C-alpha cells in the first residue's frame, strides 16, 4: 500500500518494508513444551490469508492455526496496514494443554542498518528511559554487557526518521540486541528484537497483545544519517532538501559510511594540485598518500606534486592527509572545519574526509584510519562531461561497526598472484582488516610429510603476508 509493503514467509513470519527498505525483518512466535523439548506451535505453520483492500477494508495478512497444527494451541495473528505509514499487529492465543509451555513472541526484529546507534526514548508506565542503541553486534560479544530494557511505548530516531511503537498487552515487551541471546533459535542473528523472550503460559490460559508501528511520513530519501553511537547529535536529525544532491547523485560508497553529507562544489584535480606529505612521515603514514597517488597516476594519468609544506600560498589547490597530532597543517584545517578526530571519537580506524573547492582534508584517528579514508576518497573521483577530473564535494565521517573484518583464503602454489590482486583491488577498498590463511599443507621444513605438491612455498607466504600488511590486514 503506497510506501509500505508487507509479506509472509514460513521461516521469517511477517515482515514490513518502507520504500523497499526493510524495517521489520521478522515477526513471529514459537511455543515450546519444556518437558519434552518439543515445538508445540509456530507462526510459520499457520494458515495464511492475504486481503488486498478486500471488502473495502485495509490490506491485511491473517495467520490462523492450521488443522494440522497442535490442536491444544490455537492462535490468531493479523497485520493490518492502517495508513500509508502505520501498521497494527494483533496476536491472540489460547492454550488448552495440561502442561505449562513457553512462548517466545517476536513482535518485531528491527533491521540493523536503519536503527543502529539511534537515539531512543522508552516509556514504561510513567517512567521514561532515554539512550542510544548499540552500533550493532560487538566483535567480542562475550566481553560486552547485554543490552535490554522493557517498554510499552518506544520512539526511535532512526536513519529514516522517527519510528514509534505503542503496545497494549498483559505485560510489557522486552527490547534487546538479538545477538545477545544464546538460544539456538537466534544463532547468528543481527538486529534489535522486541517481544517476549521466554513467557510462561499456564495450562488452560489465554493471552493477547496488540502493537502499533508508526513510520516516518516524509520520504526516506530526504534523510541523511544522524550521528550514531551514543554521541551528541546536536538535537534532531538533519533533514536536507535533497540528500541526493547533484554532487553525489548516483554515487554509491562501499562500504556505506556512517555519515555522509553532500557539498555543493567539487574539488578540481589538475597538474598544479599539491599533495602534502610531511618530511617526518613514517612508512605506515605514507600508505594513504601512496594509495591516492597510485590511483590518480595509473587510472587517470595525473601525477600530483608532492610537498612537505603548504608554504605562503596556504591551503589552496591541495590535498592534506594525515593525523592532526603530527601534521600542523591538518590540525589547522581541522580547527577551520570543526573536525575532531581522536582515538576515542570516532575511534580506532576512524576518519573524516572533507572535500571543498579549495582543498581536501583527510584526517584519521590512526594510520589505518587515514588509509581507509584514502579508499573512500578514491571512490569520489569523477570525470565531468567537460573532461575535468574532480573529487565530488562531500563530508564523510566513518568508523567500523566491527573490529574484525576478515576473509579466509587457501594457500596453494598458484595463489600468490591472484590473491595479491584480490587484496589490492577488492579486499583493501572494502576495508577488510584481517587475513586468515589456511596453510597447513605448506612446504614446511619441520614437517615435510604434511606438504602437498600444490602447497604454497614459505617465500610465497612471506610475500602474501607483506602484501596484506601493506593494506592494513593483520
The domains found in the chain, sorted by start residue, are 4-220 (2.70.98), 248-398 (3.30.379.10), 406-470 (no CATH)
Half-sphere exposure (Cβ direction) of 240: Cα atoms closer than 13 Å: 15
Q: Is 312 helix (H, G, I), strand (E, B) or coil?
A: helix
The Cα–Cα gap between 303 and 274 comes to 10
pLDDT score for 157: 84
Task: Please give the residue that has the higher pLDDT: either 56 or 4.
Answer: 4
**pLDDT for residue 55:** 54
Q: Is the pLDDT reported for residue 245 higher than 60? A: no
Q: How far apart are CA 222 and CA 218, in angstroms?
A: 7
Q: CB neighbours (10 Å) of residue 268?
A: 13
Cell numbers at residue 26, please?
521478522
Average pLDDT, integer, range 8-18: 85
pLDDT at 235 (0 to 100): 43
Whole-angstrom distance, CA of residue 403 vs CA of residue 228: 17
- Widest CA span in the chain: 87
Q: How far apart are CA 468 and CA 474, in angstroms?
A: 7
Is residue 211 scored above 80 in pLDDT? yes
Q: Which three cell numbers stand for residue 282?
A: 613514517
Task: Report yes or no on whether pTM surpasses 0.95.
Answer: no
State the Cα–Cα distance between residues 211 and 78, nearest whole angstrom. Answer: 11
CA neighbor of 29 nearest in space, from 83, 68, 69, 85: 69
State which H helix or E strand residue 184 sits in: none
Radius of gyration of the chain (CA): 27
**Which helix H or strand E contains 373, and what residues bound it?**
helix 367-379
The reported pLDDT for the residue numbered 56 is: 60
Cell of 258: 556512517
Residue from 275, 276, 245 nearest 261 by CA: 245
Q: How far apart are CA 458 and CA 366, in angstroms?
A: 31
Contact 63, 42 (CB under 8 A): no
User: Given this model, what pLDDT does residue 2 score?
Assistant: 59
Any idea which residue has 493471552 for its cell? 207
Candidates 435, 430, 431, 432; CA nearest to 463 is 435
Three-class secondary structure of residue 328 per DSSP: helix
Report, as an integer, the average pLDDT of 344-353.
89
Task: Check whether 138 has a pLDDT greater than 50.
Answer: no
Share of the chain above pLDDT 70, in %: 83
The whole-chain average pLDDT of the chain stands at: 80
Amino acid at each position: 500500500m503506497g510506501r509500505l509493503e508487507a509479506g509472509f514467509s514460513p521461516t521469517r513470519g511477517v515482515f514490513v518494508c518502507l520504500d523497499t527498505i526493510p524495517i521489520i525483518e521478522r515477526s513471529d512466535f514459537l511455543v515450546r513444551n519444556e518437558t519434552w523439548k518439543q515445538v508445540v506451535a509456530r507462526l510459520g505453520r499457520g494458515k495464511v490469508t492475504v486481503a488486498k483492500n478486500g471488502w473495502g477494508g485495509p490490506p491485511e495478512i491473517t495467520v490462523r492455526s492450521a488443522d494440522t497444527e497442535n490442536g491444544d494451541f490455537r492462535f490468531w495473528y493479523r497485520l493490518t496496514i492502517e495508513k500509508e505509514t502505520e501498521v497494527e499487529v494483533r496476536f491472540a492465543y489460547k492454550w488448552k494443554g495440561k502442561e505449562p509451555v513457553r512462548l517466545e513472541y517476536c513482535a518485531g526484529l528491527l533491521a540493523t542498518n536503519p536503527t543502529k546507534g539511534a537515539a531512543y526514548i522508552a516509556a514504561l508506565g510513567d517512567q521514561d528511559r532515554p539512550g542510544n542503541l548499540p552500533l550493532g553486534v560487538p566483535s567480542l560479544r562475550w566481553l560486552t554487557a547485554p543490552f535490554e530494557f522493557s517498554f510499552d511505548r518506544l520512539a526511535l530516531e532512526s536513519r529514516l526518521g522517527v519510528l514509534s511503537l505503542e503496545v497494549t498487552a498483559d505485560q510489557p515487551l522486552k527490547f534487546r540486541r538479538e545477538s545477545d541471546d544464546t538460544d539456538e533459535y537466534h544463532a547468528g542473528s543481527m538486529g534489535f528484537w522486541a517481544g517476549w523472550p521466554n513467557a510462561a503460559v499456564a495450562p488452560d490460559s489465554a493471552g493477547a497483545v496488540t502493537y502499533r508501528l508508526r513510520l516516518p511520513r516524509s520520504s526516506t530519501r530526504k534523510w541523511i544519517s544522524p550521528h550514531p553511537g551514543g554521541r551528541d547529535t546536536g538535537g534532531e536529525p538533519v533533514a536536507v532538501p535533497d540528500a541526493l544532491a547533484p554532487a553525489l547523485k548516483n554515487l554509491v560508497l562501499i562500504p556505506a559510511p556512517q555519515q555522509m553529507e553532500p557539498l555543493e562544489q567539487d574539488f578540481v584535480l589538475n597538474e598544479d594540485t599539491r599533495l602534502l606529505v610531511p618530511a617526518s612521515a613514517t612508512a605506515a603514514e605514507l600508505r594513504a598518500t601512496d594509495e591516492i597517488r597510485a590511483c590518480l597516476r595509473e587510472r587517470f594519468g595525473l601525477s600530483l606534486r608532492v610537498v612537505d609544506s603548504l608554504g605562503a600560498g596556504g591551503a589552496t589547490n591541495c590535498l592534506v592527509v594525515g593525523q592532526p597530532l603530527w601534521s600542523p597543517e591538518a590540525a589547522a584545517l581541522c580547527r577551520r572545519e570543526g573536525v575532531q578526530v581522536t582515538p576515542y571519537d570516532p575511534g580506532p580506524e576512524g576518519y573524516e574526509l572533507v572535500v571543498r573547492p579549495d582543498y581536501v582534508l583527510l584526517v584519521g584517528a590512526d594510520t589505518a584510519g587515514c588509509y581507509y579514508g584514502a579508499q573512500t576518497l578514491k571512490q569520489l573521483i569523477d570525470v565531468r562531461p567537460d573532461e575535468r577530473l574532480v573529487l565530488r564535494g562531500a563530508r564523510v565521517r566513518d568508523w567500523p561497526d566491527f573490529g574484525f573484518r576478515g576473509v579466509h583464503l587457501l594457500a596453494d602454489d598458484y595463489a600468490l598472484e591472484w590473491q595479491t590482486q584480490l587484496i589490492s583491488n577488492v579486499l583493501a577498498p572494502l576495508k577488510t582488516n584481517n587475513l586468515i590463511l589456511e596453510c597447513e599443507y605448506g612446504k614446511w621444513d619441520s614437517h615435510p610429510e604434511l606438504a602437498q605438491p600444490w602447497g604454497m612455498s614459505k617465500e610465497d607466504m612471506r610475500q602474501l603476508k607483506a602484501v596484506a600488511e601493506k593494506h592494513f590486514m593483520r
